[in-house]
Structure 1
Amino acid sequence: MAKLAENVSQRRTRIAVSVFFFLAGLCFASWASRIPNIQQKLQLNEAAWGGILLALPIGLMVSLPFSGILVARFGSRRMVIISACLYACILPLLGLATNVWQLCAILFSYGFAGNIMNISINTQAVGIEMIYERSIMASFHGVWSIAGFTGALIGTFMVSHNITPFVHFCIITAAELLTVLIFYRYTLKEDTQHEGEHPLFAKPDKFLLKLGLIAFCCMICEGTMFDWSGIYFRKVVMPPKEMVTLGYTAFMCTMAGGRFAGDWLSEKLGKKTMIQCSGLVIAVGLLVSVIFPFLVPATIGFLLVGLGVSSVVPLVYATAGKSSTMPAGVAIAATSTIGYFGFLFGPPLIGFVAEASNLRWSFSLIALLGFCTTVLASVSRIEK
């Protein structure tokens, strides 16, 4: 009976943390689904809008050194509850913004709160993974991807019924706060503790630096697919108009599906081999789409890229969270800081290279960076 009760408790905790991953994905996707409406409301051109959108990643980057410290000092459970509520409550303010400076300030705050939630829920996931004594991190990120699809569908429904972004966001916020109220009590009470005292401020050691560089290379590829896959299809593949988004859809589907299969595969192959194989799959997928820029092979290539990127960042977070040199939240924040530079600066790099040459050369460069994931994993002491 005691064993059964323990299993039920573990299962309940895993479900609760999965719910918080879902809330994070739903909140972000809700905002993303109404971007065109808010741009139209403020009557901004693409250049001005692009500048405004930088406020969110800037808030995210600014929060990175603080998020790990807050999680280490106050515990991931407390921070995931606070940040989830804050993240949800900022969302309706995005629908109320009436000028550029208001929106920039709100987006900065939104990115700041969102990243604290990201670090705290990943710290919770590391603790649960250690309880289960097997890889389960990728499945949590898979739940986030499903939430992204769900948020996009809800957004489409709201737009089709002429529901304003503010009302839409208020509905999402109410649902999220109610869900937090129900599930917060089942989250992991204590974070993973390592022997000895570790400073809250510490430079990443060589191992964490390599993990961060692995995340950097992978997230360059991921950011490229988010921002440039549709443009690549439209300008290079040149399919019928109704199929322009096929590559992006293919990428998103295999990225989400790959995360649910990633835990099982990493258990069979080992984390190091899994990351090595993922880098190869990313590189092959991108090269296929570059060498054969036609509808079917390019779509297959984008399917492979989605599969390749699906498990790398979850595995990096899981490995960093078990660092023996600093608390889990600080270690995850350290690797995230390096990784997010790739996510933020990869897409502009594509634009510069494409302007100097063409998009196919740009994607060839990203394929090389994808292969660097394999190289870096090969020279890192990642557990088998």
Structure 2
Amino acid sequence: MSSLAAVNPAFLRARWAVAALFAVNGFIIGSWAPQIPLFLARLGITEFTLGLLILGFGLGALIAMPAAGYVIGRQGSRVTLTWFAFAAAFGLIVVVAAPSVWTAAFAMVLFGGLVGGMDVSMNANAVAVERSLGRAIMSSSHGFWSLGGFAGGAAGGLVIERFGALAHAGAVTVVALAVVALVVSQLGGDDRPEPHERQPLALPRDPSLYLVGLIALFCMVPEGAVLDWAALYLKEERGASIATAGFAFAAFSAAMATMRFLGDRVRDRFGAVKTLRVSALIAAVGMFAAGLAPETWMVIAAFSLAGLGIANTVPIAFSAGGNHPGLPPGAGMSVVTTIGYSGILVAPSGLGFVGGHFGFAPVFLGVAVLLLLVAALASYAKAAD
């Protein structure tokens, strides 16, 4: 299979097409990060209320992810990803244009659903493309997600300061639609099942799959903490400007992207379990440092270190879910991503409450503890190999 893939340009086009959609998804989410302080000020809400609105994002994702997994089991990842990719391009502008707290709550649920459904679909498609190519692409695919997040976070603050929040959201929508329209025809991954192979609408029973989901959750809560609260932390507790605050998630994403492009080779050399364990320990050190550092540049550097560590933890968990024995990629992937993204449902309000009352430094110290638990659970991700 791998020798055929080396000379089959359709497989290579499919690989770059799914990579581009990972980048689009990251770009949309990264563009949300610098919008958060202005979103809070425009609606006149507290950090706790903002956490409740972000809770809606997680709720939308939790609704859409199992649904996306079911559709993938019926239609395949290529068709499902195409639908969600086009729809997700409109997610940010719907949130930014919301005129009140209640409409913003609905918009956040929709935003989370569209981005979450796209997330499951693109990861399932990456697993299918891996099988076509005969080699791993999951970590580097997530590297493209991080590049998109870096571009969205780094450019977002500057564009918002010059042109305003709504103009920025409109530009994000146009860019995302253009890329999606350009690449969807090249998507591959022939994973549409035959009618007799379709999985019933039921939860998998293997408990080890849910432990892999727990690993994903403990990795995604720290990642979500940086996305949702790092800019506010730098602005309000370290005195950074809006543009500088946007670089917190940008630096985190850039570090993740760098390491994720090396991740497939690292995993091949050391194995998924050892890579996951060491990565989680590095990320924990970075999060501890971010919570303790007194200067803006030190905090950004600490987030970069955390990004290096977190980089390959989520791809390993997703790859373990997508390659779980006895399940199609969409079924295993939807379980792991749903549990992982449930951290977005539970964590924001709690983190916002802690941040609003005690500051956000304790938040980053707390999420470092979750990464220590990931190191302890790493052996359950062995299916990623």
Q: TM-score, normalised on structure 2?
A: 0.83
Task: Decide whether the 8 Å contact of 1:72 with 1:330 is kept in 2.
Answer: yes
Q: 1:23 to 1:304 in 2, by over 3 A?
A: closer
Cα deviation, residue 363, structure 1: 4.8
Residue equivalent to 1:174 = 174
Name the CA shift for 1:248/1:267 in 2 (closer, same or farther; >3 Å): same
Map 1:235-384 onto structure 2 (within 5 A). Answer: 250-287=251-288, 293=293, 301-350=302-351, 363-379=364-380, 381-382=382-383, 384=385
Instruction: Quote how far apart the aligned CAs of 1:255 are.
Output: 2.0
Rounded to whole Å, the distance in 2 between the matches of 1:247 and 1:94 is 22
Checking the alignment, whether the CA contact within 8 Å between 2:213 and 2:336 is kept in structure 1 is yes
Q: Residue 163 of structure 2: SS of its match in structure 1?
A: coil
Distance, in Å, in 2 between the alignment partners of 1:343 and 1:160 is 28
| Structure 1 Cα separation of the partners of residues 153 and 70 of structure 2 | 33
User: Is the Cα contact below 8 Å between 1:285 and 1:304 reproduced in 2?
Assistant: yes
Going from structure 1 to structure 2, the CA distance change for 1:34 and 1:231 (only over 3 Å counts) comes to: closer
CA deviation vs aligned residue, 1:90-117 (integer Å, no higher than 9, x gap): 4443344333332222221221111111
Higher RCO, Cα 8 Å, sep 6+: 2
Residue 245 of structure 1 deviates from its aligned partner by 7.7
Secondary structure of 1:67's aligned partner: helix
Counterpart residue number, 1:121: 122
The 1-side partners of 2:298 and 2:93 are apart by 42
Contact 1:204 1:331 (8 Å CA) reproduced: no
Q: Structure 1: which amino acid aligns with 2:256?
A: M
Aligned counterparts of 2:89 and 2:203: Cα–Cα separation in 1: 31
| Superimposed CA distance per residue, residues 234-293 of structure 1 (whole angstroms, 9 cap, x where no aligned partner) | 89xx86757878865653432222211211211111112111211222234345567x75
Residue 31 (structure 2) aligns with: 30
Q: Using the alignment, how far apart are the partners of 2:357 and 2:48 within structure 1?
A: 20
| Number of positions where the alignment pairs a residue of Structure 1 with one of Structure 2 | 379
- Greater shift after overlay, 216-225 or 64-73? 216-225
Counterpart in the other structure of 2:183: 183
Structure 2 unpaired stretches of 5+: none
With 130-139 and 68-77 compared, the bigger mean Cα shift is at: 130-139
Deviations along 1:42-68, one digit per CA (max 9) or x if unpaired, are: 454555444333322221122222121
Q: Which has the larger radius of gyration?
A: 1
Cα deviation, residue 342, structure 1: 2.9
Is 1:87–1:114's contact at 8 Å kept on the other side of the alignment? Answer: yes
State the TM-score, normalizing by the size of structure 1: 0.83
**Coordinate RMSD, CA, aligned:** 3.5
Structure 1 counterpart SS, 2:114? helix
Check conservation: 1:72, 1:200, Cα contact below 8 A.
Answer: no
Deviations 1:155-175 (A, max 9, x none): 33432433561x443443334
